[in-house]
Amino acid sequence: MVLGAAAPILALAAGLSLYAMGDAAVFFYSPKMAADKHVPAGRTVRLGGLVAPGSVVKLPDGTVKFAVTDRVDTDQVVFKGDLPDLFREGQGVVSEGAFDTNGVFVAREVLAKHDERYMPKELADALKKTGEWRGDGAGPVNYSKALR
């Protein structure tokens, strides 16, 4: 009897909690996943991949423009602020922000990984799907191929 009365109350509490969270949950996407899911402009997400070689441009006002790639798709990112010390071309990066109406990712926060042992699971999975995962001792990524 107690279980029969408690189950609907717990289900209602769980439903209300999920409803209250609403857009507070932040989803992770690689550039390919973001393109496939058609992430709407303004929705807060995390975009992860590798900083494309030759893509980093630092402007005098403190704005940094760079590209994040998963070697299948590439997204342009704009960030104003201080980048992590470990941020560099060819390294893994996770940016939190939103796409604007032009498809440019406007980052509010940029996180750089320090080595292959530290990488968000979602980023590692995305790199494994595209064949660019190098965390299991397979050597460095070969950037001689043109980015698509």
State yes or no: pLDDT of 148 exceeds 80: no
Contact indicator for 35, 73 with CB cutoff of 8 Å: yes
Paired tokens of 115: 């080595």
64 — pLDDT class (breaks 50, 70, 90): very high
> In the structure encoding, which two tokens stand for residue 70, read together?
């998963």
What is this structure's pTM? 0.65
Mean predicted confidence (pLDDT) in 37-56: 90
d(Cα 104, Cα 70) in Å, to the nearest integer?
16
d(CA 18, CA 35): 26
Asked if the structure places residue 8 within a domain, the reply is no
Let me know if residue 43 belongs to a domain. Answer: yes
Q: Contact at 8 Å (CB) between 64 and 56?
A: yes
Closest CA to 147 of 26, 49, 53: 53
Q: Which residues span the domain enclosing 87?
A: 24-129
pLDDT at site 95: 93
pLDDT at 138: 43
Contact of 143 with 90, CB cutoff 8 Å: yes
- What is the spatial distance between Cα 107 and Cα 56, in angstroms, rounded to a whole number? 14
Residue 3 domain-assigned (yes or no): no
4-43: pLDDT as tens digits = 878 888 888 887 776 766 555 567 888 988 888 888 899 8
**Is residue 45, in this structure, part of any structural domain at all?**
yes
Q: What total of structural domains would you count in the chain?
A: 1
pLDDT at 140: 44
Q: Which residue has the higher pLDDT, 14 or 134?
A: 14
- Per residue in 65-115, pLDDT (tens digit) is 999 998 889 999 999 988 888 888 988 899 999 999 999 999 999 988 655
Query: In this structure, is residue 147 part of a structural domain?
Result: no
Band of residue 142 on the pLDDT scale cut at 50, 70, 90:
very low
pLDDT (mean) for 113-131: 62
Per-residue pLDDT, averaged over 39-67, amounts to 92
CATH code at 111?
2.40.50.140
